[in-house]
Structures are given as C-alpha cells and as structure tokens.
Amino acid sequence: MKLEASYQKYILHFKQPAGTSRGILKTKETFFLQIYDKNKSGVGECGIFKGLSIDDRPDYEKKLQWVCDNIELGEKQLLNELIEFPSIQIGVEIAFKSFYSKDKFKIFPSSFSTGKASIPINGLIWMGEKSFMLKQIIQKVNSGFTCIKMKIGAIDFNSEIELLRFIRKEFSLNEIELRVDANGAFTPTEALEKLKILSEFDIHSIEQPIKQGQWQEMAKLCEQTPLPIALDEELIGVFDDTKKQALLKTIAPQYIILKPTLIGGFTGSDTWIQLAKKHQTGWWITSALESNIGLNAIAQYTFTKNSILPQGLGTGSLFTNNIPSPLDVTNGSLFYDNNKHWEFRLKPVK
C-alpha cells in the first residue's frame, strides 16, 4: 500500500515572553510531519529552533517537502539523506515509529507510557529581572521540584549570585539540586574566576560556560574547573562520529547534554551516549521547546535509557495552544496519565 506524507507549520504561542540567551521569545515555529496510507497514519514533529538549530536555513521547508515527496525511500535512507537537518531527522524517526505502533502516541512502550513510572525533571527558571526569577524559584520549590536549573548570563552577574545565595540560604544541597546554564555567556579569560565564585553554592553543574567551538579553551576549563561542566551547544552541528569522539577526547567534559531535536534525533543521541560511556562522561537529555508531540516522543525515549539524573524535559505548559496530551507534571516528575487523551486534530493535506 502506497505511503504518503505531508507537513504543516504550527506556531506555538508562549503564555508569557520567555527570556533566553537568544533574546525574548513570544512564539516558537514548529512543523508536524504526517505519514499515512489508506488504513492508518503516524505523526512526528520537526521542532526547528530559530537561531540555535544548525538546520535553521532558507531551504528548510524545501527539504521537508522533499521528505514528503520521497517518503517511500523509508526511514533509514531518509535519515542518511538528512544528516544536515537534525530536526527533520527526529521528525522522520517519530513519524515512522508512530505509524508502525499500535498506539501512534506510544512509540517506546514502557512503564512510563503505561503510567506506572515517571521521569524526574529539573524546574527551569527563565531569564528576567531578579524579582521575576526569584518568583519562579519559589513557585518551582512549592510545586515539589528538587532540581532547579537557572539560566545565567543575562542580568548582572552579582545579581545572579545574590539569587543563588538566597536559594542556598533557604534550601540546602540535600533539599535542592542546583544547575546553572550560561549559554556561552562568559569569556575564556573570565570564566574560571566566575566558576570559582559559583562553586561556593554547591552547584551540580554549569552548562556551556563559554561559547562553543573553542575546544582548547573549554578543555582547559574542564581540567581546572571547581564545579562540573556540561557541554550543550558544543554538540550542535557535529555530524561526523569521528569528530564527536575527538570532541569528547579533547575537551573531556564532566557531562554532555543531549537535545535530540538539535543533534540528529534518537539515532544521533544513541551515538553520543555510546561515546560518553566510552569516555566516562555523564549525560542527561533535554527537550528544546517542542510541542507535546515532540516532548512525548523524547520523554518516552529518555525513559528507556535508564538515567538516574533529573532530565531537562519541558513540561509542555509554556504555550497557550500546545497539543492537549496525557503528559502531566507532579512533584517535579513527568507522568503519562492514561486517563487523559490526545487531541491532535491536524488532518493530512493531499
């Protein structure tokens, strides 16, 4: 039976503007890829992240249409042709798994997808004025989160230190695990001194203290750092497996952070995990502002990897028009509530 495909753009609207190192986000563009024959269908998400994704380029939709026109090539061949389009790769992976699954939204069956187990996640604190960030921190703690991730580098460093001092004054290391994400905000010359100051607050790790692409400077930091460093943006655009291995061997980070949408989907993430184990590097998985379609797939994949660390999986509650789903967050953990139902109404366009 002939397999067909179509894609549709979908604009997600933030409930409130989200402050990131790439500016203030009010909307987030994403694409739903649907594959179908006369009897059934599957859906995936190509969650391009403007300004961050390596495949944020003018021919993106042209490539999506090429995938639809050539869907009968099959998953494996399509993935090989999409090396430079990681966010389309994961959309293809999710769509095919969805198509061939008994339940199109349960693509990695496990005790998570049956609602019997959950995934501990970090509570994300968005950038903004000090008072706004403090309000978020209190809300997350009151909601039961025991791991907080705070983005730093946007406001005055001293103000950020005051926030961290407040958190540690109120909550000990045993009560709250603290992670910070600099998004490359520090210069190589100032980074080590700032890491020393941050280390006074029992911080679990810092993500990407300096901008990616400075392997020698980052390697030196990882060797001298008083607190663990996690590579994030550093992994984006590293397509070749030999180069991935060289990156880990050269920099020797304490952790790497895997965003499947940005690094080649589940196949790309599997490769990084295998290499991380080889180099005794820790890792965890993070979503990248996908809708609930992408988040659901990434969460199910994440659960199968048996990581004991809190994961960076968004809650899906950031958007006013997210796809209604069974995903739910309780006491700092992500659940799949089988008493709730999906409401995905986009129809295939022929």
Q: Tokens in use for 186? A: 């520090």
Question: Which residues partner with 311 through β-bridges?
Answer: 121
Out of 259, 277, 305, 340, the active site residue is 259
Active site residue 277: no
Query: Could you say which of 97, 104, 106, 151 is catalytic?
Result: 151
Dig out the tokens for 349 from the structure: 């366009």
Tokens representing 121 are 């996640």
Q: Is 26 among the catalytic positions?
A: no
Closest CA to 5 of 350, 279, 299: 350
Nearest to 230 by CA among 299, 281, 160: 281
Starting at the edge strand found earlier in the chain, the sheet holding 41-46 runs 4-20, 23-36, 41-46
State the Cα torsion 284-313-23-132 to the nearest 10°.
Answer: -110
Residue whose token pair is 């295939």: 348
**CA gap 41, 157 in Å, rounded:** 50
Q: In what order do the strands lie in the sheet with 229-231?
A: 123-125, 147-151, 177-181, 203-207, 229-231, 255-258, 282-285
Closest C-alpha to 181, from 207, 158, 155 = 207
Would you tell me how many other CB atoms lie within 10 Å of the CB of residue 187?
13
Question: Residue 27 is which amino acid?
Answer: T
3-state secondary structure 248-303: HHHHCCCEEEECCCCCCHHHHHHHHHHHHHHCCCEEEEECCCCCHHHHHHHHHHHH
Indicate which residues carry an active-site annotation: 151, 259
